[in-house]
Amino acid sequence: MAVPDNHTHLDIVVGERAPEVGPGDAAVIAELDAASAVGIDRVVQVGIDVATSRWAVGLAELDSRVLAAVALHPNDAPRQGDLEGALGEIEALVKHPRVAALGETGMDFFRTGDEGRAAQEASFRAHIGMAKAHGKALMIHDREAHEDVLRVLDEEGAPETVVMHCFSGDAEHARECARRGYYMSFAGNVTFKNAPKLREAALACPRELMLVETDAPFMTPMPFRGRWNGPYLVPVTVRFLAELVGEDLERFCTDVSANTERVYGSWSVEVS
């Protein structure tokens, strides 16, 4: 039962063991093969700055199991010496046929203080505009900024497809996102013992808006918490969610796979 991992950082997963790893490195392909062996046959490789966004595009060009997402991470945007220039490079990359999303962008009030929030919000608004202009999904990083993320999306007018990556809100926030038609992607932290509100959010998420991810190498699911995460561990989260929502595992996998392709399109798109 094939399921995609709709948000992973293989450059970080492999880079911890092999610094300066290239997208065609054998260790990267081994991670994809390990995932394929357990039914995780497609991934979205996510950029967090210009360099990693280029890396993501390079991997998507090399391996048909990979689509790319490109963006400036909200914590990276305030650090840019030339924010407009960096955004221009992201917009050049988003035109690539194997780039499926602008992400991860958004707002993060946990790591970015008041002094960086204006640049963070400006970057977020720019990514929203790019997603609408180029017809790509918008993949959102939202940490302790739920109300402001929704405010900016409402003010700018959200693109057709919005994904709340590594959903971190409660059931009420899930209902607000669902009311707007936003997809919610759940990672391994939904399995943590100290995450009852996140499980309540998963129960509040309509099945047709639910996605699954690793956010690898982070958010490793129980009982493997503490281990470096990878797409091969998606089945642990998938089984947990299927049981939580009371759905047959095969049906759940089919639905999540269909939802993911509805968001990002087909992985078979060719480079012209």
Q: Annotated binding residues for a divalent metal cation, as ranges? A: 7, 9, 104, 141, 165, 215
Strands 99-108 and 183-186: unpaired
Q: List helix spans (H) across 135-206.
A: 146-156, 171-179, 196-204
Give the whole-angstrom CA distance, residue 57 versus residue 158.
24
Q: What strands lie across the sheet with 137-143, from one edge to the other? A: 4-8, 42-46, 66-70, 99-108, 137-143, 162-164, 183-186, 210-212
Q: Cβ(6)–Cβ(163) under 8 Å?
A: yes
Query: Known binding site: residues?
Result: 7, 9, 104, 141, 165, 215
What's the number of CA atoms in the CB half-sphere (13 Å) around residue 95? 6
Bridge partners, residue 211, by sequence: 185
Burial of 118 (0-12, 13-18, 19+ CB in 10 A): exposed
Return the closest-CA partner of residue 205 out of 172, 236, 237.
Answer: 172
